[in-house]
Amino acid sequence: MTEKLLFADIDEPGLHTLGVYERRGGYASLRKAFSMTPEDVLAELEASGLRGRGGAGFQMGKKVSFLPKGSMEKYLVCNADESEPGTFKDRELMQKSPHMLIEGIVIASYAAGAQRSFIYIRGEYVLQADVLDAALAEAREAGFIGEDILGSRHSLSLVLHRGAGAYICGEETALLDSLEGKRGNPRLKPPFPANQGLYQGPTLINNVETLSTVPVIIRMGGAEYAKLGAESSTGTKLVSVSGHVQRPGNYEVVLGTPSREIIYGLAGGPPEGREVKCWFPGGSSAPVLTAEHLDVSYDFDSLAKAGSMLGSGAIIVVDDSTPILDVALKVAKFYQHESCGKCTPCREGTNWTVKMLQRIELGEATPMDLEIMASVQDHIMGNCLCVLGDAMAMPISSIISHFKEELEAHMERARLRPAETLVSA
Amino acid sequence: MSAAAAGSDRPVDLEKSAAEIPDAETTEVPEKLRAEIEAYMARYPDPRSATLPALEAAQRVHGWCSPQALEQVACVMRLTPAYLESVATFYDMLETTPVGRHSIYVCTNISCSLRGGDALYAAVRDAAADEPEEFNVRSFECLGACDIAPMASVDGVYVGPLALEDVPRLLDDARAGRRVLVEKQLAPRLVADTQANSREFPPHPPQEPASR
Amino acid sequence: MITFTIDGREVRAPENAMLVDAAKHGDVEIPVFCYEPKLGNPVGACRMCLVEIEGIPKLQTGCSTPAKDGMVVHTQSERARVAQQAVVEFLLINHPLDCPVCDKGGECPLQDITFGWGAGTSRFIEPKRHFVKPLALSERIAIDRERCILCYRCVRFSQEISEDNQLVLVERGAHSYVATFDGHPYEATFTGNIIELCPVGALTSRPYRFRARPWDIEDAGSVCTLCPSQCNVTLTVRDERVIRVLARDNGEVDDGWLCDRGRFAYPALGGLPATAAALADAPAAAENGAGRITEPMIRDGGQLRVVSWERAMTEAVAGLRRAGERVGAIAGGQATNEEGLLLARLMREGAGSPHVDSRAAGTLELELHLALNEPRLQARVSDLEFAHAVLVLEGDPIRDAPILDLRLRKGVRRHGMKLIRATREELLAGPRELADKLAGAGEEIVVLWAERLTAGPDGSRAAAALLELADALSLGDVEGAGLLEIPAHTNGRGLREAGVLPNAGPGLSDPAATGDASPTGRDAAGIAEELAAGELTGLYLLQSDPLLEPADREVWERALERAATVVAHASFLTEGIREHADVVFPSEAYAEKEGTITHPDGRLQRLRPAVAHPGSIRAEWSVIVELASRLGLDLEVLTGAMASAQLFESVPFYAGLTLEEIGGKGVRWQEREAAGAYPTREQLV
Ligand SMILES: Cc1cc2nc3c(=O)[nH]c(=O)nc-3n(C[C@H](O)[C@H](O)[C@H](O)COP(=O)(O)O)c2cc1C
Ligand code: SF4
Ligand code: FES
């Protein structure tokens, strides 16, 4: 299916400017939303079935409805930290269609009753942040942000906040701490941000893509949007495809499209003569799937049933030329490097896993070590303060179970290698 | 990290006094930096939220988050320098040891490494090895541009896919303060999805980040 | 109260108590490292306390999950046990096995938890992380980073309790470590608390390092008398020496914290050789670096010389006889209530002199004094935390009574208390206007005022203004509101209540009523003037050296110069004693003392001797009793307990108290029935 909602005009020159965006119908959804009550806007969001595009896939409308009613100071935070390896869809949206995000934020804040909002963008996205800053200035100037927006009596401030390089700041509570000027350590939940988030106030946190979809939903109507896609995975999704494919990049697909169609049909599949060895369906935190799973429907529930997850919608393809140990090491090292260090199982577990993998690489491991490594993953999973630990344990566990033989064979070979070849490793 | 690691193995200097919030009377802060930090502080309900932008600003002035830089930020924000050190060492883009003028982050995370990112990093690192004051070459986690893998961010500008042959020109451009590898910049690329866009559009003109 | 099930047992516990606390009601222990309620809300970082709760798929942290009615919790199920063993295994990955040479050995939560909840083996064979160890973190604290388990307790203390923000975690993940900025030492008022908070041997006391192992030591509970905060302490004793001072949690006094002076000044209490820093803080000892006085001395040819007790007694009695009624006495702030009472009797009944004082700020009319200390007007320490607002009047808690500073910070941070400061000038300019300013903050207001507010010629006016302020704010009628005075000296309140005032007897009674002596006693400043003028000839100093008080130094120099007889109880040869005392009785340190003191909020607390008297030191009270006896007055005290009993009899509003009732946590007299015996203004003529 070729339904394009977010990418309909994505490359139109000047779309990032207010003039072109408005000419393309921009901010019409905002006017429409203001003609409705906040409750009705919320009802549309709930009807759309839109699930969060940041990783956890929680229904957006439901999350908005969790915010307490009343006149206290509420906040909306857009998660633009996009640091999940393999993910680069929010970057495309922010750079090319920043006003769509801003419009979505204003509408969502209206539904949620939030008067202050922030976009937390990863510090590495310099160009995208600059584009957003310029768009924000235009939107302020035009009265889409500020006091009494378009005579609606709804007011909203919007501040762009640049991060400084830490994957964990994508985790929503770590993001809040970081936004408050602290180290980006996740917080204990409960309390959840909807009750006690930024500056202790009720806070709605959504991903860039989620919020950018809001104007589309208001334009189409929630029920109409929900007709797209698979059951309980409605609408379209931006999928970032990377790794061993011929046409890496972002694709907008209707949820429920067969994975093979995305990997082979859209992204061109692995280079000539190579086969898919394994693939991460939702960023490097997702358990790997193998070639057997290529026909799984690309939606939240089907991927979960297949033993993985849709996550951020980032497909990383690994072909059969790559030793699985290299993949495991890359993944484990990343999480070791990014663990905030606050909780024990994640801090020590990621570190220990890397050390074990390095020993396997060096030929200093025995098959017992695979067992230990698998058990360490079990000890991490479900026991950490946030899910960063799980985000390593899940793919590593899946790699151990899918590729046990290859890993054992590697250990055996490495142990038999003459010592001098190991020095360079 | 190296100087910081040494910090962990160094006893405190008992001759020094406690590092409290710096005295506003005696701490000199460049006027522009002070104004910039104060403007950030005014943007948030709680001024402490300005910590990251303030540190980033001080890093631009001092080249890194030196003790002096931290003291200046601490003075304006009325925080202790230890607090700021704790924050600065948490984030990869804040440098807590002196570094070269031009930051080159080479992505070596999974998608880039599947396409040669590790070799690219090694090549850039080796080529820049003799100019530590000029270049700060770092192997970086996923920079969110796996579509142009293997890639690098040169002073904030994304370029890729890079071949090993691109390395000398990349360094030359950076050294000279020119736009790096213009034809390899991410900014003008169209989306990969050929079915996207209701009409045909030409590639975007290259854009330099405004904030540098 | 709710009922929940833990490990098969039905247990009743307060609703919403965290599971780790609720479990204790059923004698179940859930292991913790990062959980420490004193540090604020749980952070759930160490994951040691994972338990299984029926109906919840993931294991939950017992430190942050409130107990609910009907909840079924398992701490020993297979899943819970595996998780607990896993966390212990993770924590031991980098923890060195240097327990045999670690000061924490034997009193180490990590050892205990490893023993109780660990698997007993580790599968980790890689090298551990290495740091140079141990390093100085400050003059007083050593840090051993290899032992640190990154529980966050110490840095949370620095950030959220003392709010000095000097101790932080730097770097990220497995590279994180505890540090200060750029090689600066961790120096602040309360740093030593992190030693006690650390659940491993990563932070240790430098003066205590390698002094003892837990099996060589004994613990003794007492009260620190180095300032009016009167924090509760546990003294670690080895071979009759205090080698360590620890906090002893009393929510109504110190909240479980201790300041560095209280914690580290113990070498000056007769223990170890002092470190430079400890010495600097030790009372008076720094003056000339002299050690403790442990033998009686008399002045002989201009020099003090050690003599026998008999000789010293004889000299003192002779001197006091010569002075007759023309003697004055001053009790220092570390004296106990009993010592104060007996001293006042010695003066009033033995020598016939009304000139006794203990109040640094000078005399206040008895009427004002009574009004300011009226029971219903007195705030408690805990009120500082829960009040809507606290007005700090002319004081600096961090200097006057450091531990109160932490309480005020806690009030502001956790309960939104408003902290307001005002000067004496503002009070004098208009107490009603000041009250108006406070009125908006809420009803429960505590005025924390320093004794020096009422010093000097305007003292009475300030006291009257303070009463007017209290009246305007109806402080006496609101629960949780009131006045709290910080006296200039530790036991200022108790000594006054015991009658060590020129214008009041025991229980703040009007001395005119008893007829023991003429009511026109002189206060300390008056005593100095009269000594200087030759009107008085004798001076009795109970743990007091007037030359250490900067105020009236010149007069005092002349007074001491001229005094014919100066008898002093002292621990150190500070200037006044060294140059002017004719007889010196070696004085007890608080660790050696028996008796009671009264906290600024009226809480009677008990001092218990933790170590024997060094040298030939004798109990202060017994020295006074013997002097009295030689002067022909039988004070009827044969033991310390008898002295206390006499105190409780003499002060009507202490009536019926016993040492047992005071116990380890103290008793506020205002909360007892006998408080009704407090003299009212009307009772004064
Ligand atoms: C370690 C970690 C990293 C995350 N990184 C991101 C991120 O970069 N961007 C994002 O939108 N969500 C990220 N998330 C998910 C957020 O916590 C949160 O679920 C999301 O922002 C909610 O928005 P959504 O409901 O619109 O998806 C991350 C979660 C974890 C545990
Ligand atoms: S030094 Fe001690 S208290 Fe501080 S984090 Fe380490 S283990 Fe915890
Ligand atoms: S005690 Fe519960 S997580 Fe540390």
In this structure, what CATH number is given to the domain that contains residue C408? 3.40.228.10
Q: Where are the beta strands (DSSP E) in A281-388?
A: 289-290, 297-298, 314-319
pLDDT digit string, tens, across residues A357-407? 999 999 888 889 999 999 999 999 999 999 999 999 999 999 999 999 999
| Claim to verify: residue C556 and residue C639 sit in the same structural domain | yes
- Do both C649 and C546 map to the same domain? yes
Can you give the CATH number for the domain in which C553 is found?
Answer: 3.40.50.740
The answer to whether C276 contacts chain A (CB < 8 Å) is no
Question: Measured from the CB, is residue C589 less than 6 Å from ligand 2?
Answer: no
The confidence score (pLDDT) of residue C453 equals 95
CA distance B110 to chain A (A): 6
Q: Which of C91, C123, C148 is the last residue of a domain?
A: C91
Residue A422's pLDDT is 52
Is there a contact between A67 and A77 (Cβ–Cβ < 8 Å)?
A: no
**Cβ-proximal residues to C605 (8 Å cutoff; 6+ apart), any chain:** C223, C230, C232, C253, C596, C597, C598, C599, C662, C666
What residue numbers bound the domain in which C164 lies?
A: 99-205
pLDDT in tens, A103-116: 999 999 999 999 99
Where does a domain end: C91, C126, C158? C91
Check pocket membership of C495 for ligand 2, CB cut-off 6 A.
no
Please state, in angstroms and rounded to a whole number, the distance separating the CA atoms of residues A396 and A398: 5
Looking at the fold, whether C379 and C474 belong to one and the same domain comes out as yes
* Residues in chain A within 8 Å Cβ distance of B113: 326, 330
Look at residue C266 and tell me if it is in a domain: no
**Which residue's CA is the nearest one to ligand 2's atom 4?**
C154
**Cα torsion through A249, A252, A257, A262, rounded to 10:** -10
Within a domain: C259: no
pLDDT at residue C643, rounded to an integer = 98
Closest CA to A281 of A127, A398, A201: A398
Question: Torsions phi, psi of B35, nearest 5?
Answer: -65, -40
CB contact at 8 A, C598 and C644: no
* pLDDT at site A255: 98
pLDDT at A2: 59
Ligand nearest to the CA of C201: 2
Tell the burial category of A425 from Cβ atoms under 10 Å away from its Cβ (0-12, 13-18, 19+). Answer: exposed
Give the number of whichever ligand sits closest to the CA of residue A346. Answer: 1
Q: Which two tokens stand for residue C198?
A: 């650390």
Centre of ligand 3 to C-alpha C63, Å, is: 5
- Residue-range domain boundaries for chain B: 31-88, 102-196
User: What confidence tier does C271 reach under pLDDT thresholds 50, 70, 90?
Assistant: very low
Among protein residues, the one with the nearest Cα to ligand 1's atom 2 is A171
Rounded to 10°, the helix A208-220/A89-96 angle is 60
The predicted complex's ipTM stands at 0.95
Give the count of alpha carbons within 13 A of C471, CB side only.
10
CATH entry 1.10.10 includes domain B31-88: yes
Dihedral angle over CA of B11, B13, B14, B16, nearest 10: -150
φ, ψ at C622 (rounded to 5°): -70, -30
> Above 60 in pLDDT, residue C270?
no
Same structural domain, C476 and C558: no
Question: Chain C partners of A348 at a C-beta cutoff of 8 Å?
Answer: 90-91, 93-94, 174
* Domain-located, residue C466: yes
Q: Which of A62, A76, A161, A171 to mutate to test the pocket of ligand 1 (most atoms within 8 A of CB)?
A: A171
Direct distance between the N- and C-terminal alpha carbons of chain A, in angstroms, rounded to an integer? 47
Residue with the larger pLDDT of the pair A90 and C681: A90
pLDDT, tens only, A147-179: 999 999 999 999 999 999 999 999 999 999 999
d(CA C33, CA A191): 21
Are both C481 and C497 inside the same structural domain?
A: no
What letter represents residue A147's amino acid? Answer: E
- Determine the 3-state secondary structure of C164 from DSSP: coil
- Asked whether the beta carbons of residue C83 and residue A336 sit closer than 8 angstroms, the reply is no
pLDDT band at C279 (very low <50, low <70, confident <90, very high): very low
User: What's the mean per-residue pLDDT of chain C?
Assistant: 92
Interface membership of B114 toward A (CB under 8 Å): yes
Give the pLDDT score at C218: 87
Give the number of the ligand closest to the Cα of residue C142. Answer: 2
Q: How far is the CA of C110 from the centre of ligand 3 (A)?
A: 13
> What order do you get walking across the sheet with A75-80 strand by strand?
A157-162, A116-121, A75-80, A203-207
Q: Give the angle A345-A348-A351 at the CA atoms, nearest 5°.
A: 130
Query: Cβ(C524) to ligand 3 under 6 A?
Result: no
pLDDT above 90 for C163: yes
Same domain, C551 and C603: yes
DSSP readout, C175-220?
G-EEE-GGG----SSSTTHHHHH-SSTTEEETTTTTS--GGG-EEE
Q: What is the mean pLDDT of residues A326-336?
A: 98
Q: Could you identify the atom of ligand 2 that is nearest to the CA of residue C143? A: 1
Query: What gap in Å lies between CA C449 and CA C436, rounded to an integer?
Result: 18
Q: Which atom of ligand 2 approaches the CA of C150 most closely? A: 5
Residues C227-242: what's their mean pLDDT? 93
Sheet of C418-422, strands arranged across: C418-422, C389-393, C445-450, C482-486
Q: Between β-strands C60-61 and C583-586, what pairing exists: parallel, antiparallel or unpaired?
A: unpaired
Position C288 confidence tier, pLDDT thresholds 50, 70, 90: very low
Q: How many domains does chain C have?
A: 4
Residue C66, φ and ψ in degrees, nearest 5: -75, 145
Q: Are C225 and C283 in contact (CB under 8 A)?
A: no
Q: Tens of pLDDT along C21-37?
A: 999 999 999 999 999 99
Q: Which candidate in C135, C154, C165, C398 is best for mutational testing of the B interface (most B CBs within 10 A)?
A: C165
Please give the full DSSP string across A149-172, using - where no structure is assigned: GGGSS--BEEEEEE--S-GGGGSH
Hey, is the C-beta of A188 within 8 angstroms of any chain C C-beta? yes
Report A:341-360 residues touching C (Cβ under 8 A): 341-345, 347-352, 355-356, 359
State in Å: Cα C156 to ligand 2 middle: 10
Taking the centre of ligand 2 as the mean of its atom positions, its distance from the CA of residue B88, in whole angstroms, is: 21
- With contact defined as 3+ CB pairs under 8 Å, the chains touching C are A, B
Residue of C nearest to B4 (CA): C171
Tell me the pLDDT tens digit for each residue of A61-105.
Answer: 999 999 999 999 999 999 999 999 999 999 999 999 999 999 999
CATH number for the domain spanning C71: value is 3.10.20.740
| Residues C198 and C50 grouped into a single domain | no
Listed by number, the residues of chain A in 212-271 with a beta carbon closer than 8 Å to a beta carbon of chain B are 240-244, 247-252, 266-267
**CB nearest to A88's CB, from B145, B199, B207:** B145
Ligand 3 within 6 A of C46 CB? Answer: yes
**How many angstroms away from the CA of B43 is the closest CA of chain A?**
7
Q: State how far the Cα of C267 lies from the Cα of C273, in Å rounded to an integer.
A: 6
Closest residue on chain B to C183 (Cα): B12
Asked whether the beta carbons of C225 and C490 are under 8 A apart, the reply is yes
What fold does the segment set B102-196 form as a domain?
Glutaredoxin (3.40.30)
Instruction: Let me know if residue C513 belongs to a domain.
Output: yes
Whether the upstream peptide bond of residue B11 has omega within 30° of 0, thus cis, is no
Query: Quick one: pLDDT band at residue C289, thresholds 50, 70, 90?
Result: very low
Task: Kindly state whether residues C566 and C670 are assigned to the same domain.
Answer: yes
B162 secondary structure, DSSP code: P
> For residue range A243-293, what is the model confidence (pLDDT) as tens digits?
999 999 999 999 999 999 999 999 999 999 999 999 999 999 999 999 999
Cis peptide before B168 (omega within 30 of 0): no
Residue after which a domain boundary falls, among C140, C172, C205: C205
| Residue C222 domain-assigned (yes or no) | no
User: CA C490: distance to chain centroid?
Assistant: 8
Helix (H, G, I), strand (E, B), or coil: what is residue A234? strand
- The percentage of chain A sitting over the pLDDT mark of 90, rounded to a whole number, equals 94
Q: Does residue C243 fall inside a structural domain?
A: no
Mean predicted lDDT score pLDDT of chain A: 96
Q: Are B86 and B54 in contact, with CB atoms under 8 Å apart?
A: no
A96 touches chain B (CB under 8 A): yes
Q: Residue A123: what residue type? A: G
Q: Pick the residue with more confidence: B44 or C282?
A: B44
Chain mean position to CA B18: 30
How many angstroms separate the CA atoms of C392 and C378, rounded?
15
Give me A342's structure tokens: 């606050």
CA distance C400 to C453: 13
A176 in Cβ contact with A137 (< 8 Å): no
Q: How far is C220 from chain A (nearest CA, A)?
A: 36
Task: Name chain A contacts of C59, Cβ cutoff 8 Å.
Answer: 382-383
Residue C380 in domain: yes
Query: Is the pLDDT score of C284 beyond 80?
Result: no
Q: In whole angstroms, what is the distance from residue C191 CA to residue C258 CA?
A: 9
Give all domains of chain A, ordered by start, each with its CATH number.
18-227 (3.40.50.11540), 230-319 (3.10.20.600), 324-421 (1.20.1440.230)
Q: Which are the contacts of C579, defined by CB distance < 8 A and separation ≥ 6?
A: C560
Model-level pTM greater than 0.90? yes
C470-518 tens-digit pLDDT: 999 999 999 999 999 999 999 999 999 999 999 999 999 987 665 555 5
Query: Token digits for A23?
Result: 């000419």
C40 within some domain: yes
Longest Cα–Cα distance in chain A? 77
Name the pairing type of β-strands A116-121 and A157-162: parallel
Contact status, residue C544 vs residue C538, Cβ threshold 8 Å: no
Is C122 an 8 Å CB contact of chain A? no
C176 CA → ligand 2 middle, Å: 11
**Is C32 near ligand 3, meaning CB less than 6 Å away?**
yes
In 3D space, the residue among C197, C193, C205, C154 whose CA is nearest the CA of residue C177 turns out to be C154
- The distance from CA C304 to its chain's CA centroid, rounded to whole angstroms, is 33
Which ligand neighbours the alpha carbon of A55 most closely?
A: 1
- Both C407 and C537 in one domain: the answer is no
Q: Does B128 touch chain A (CB under 8 A)?
A: no
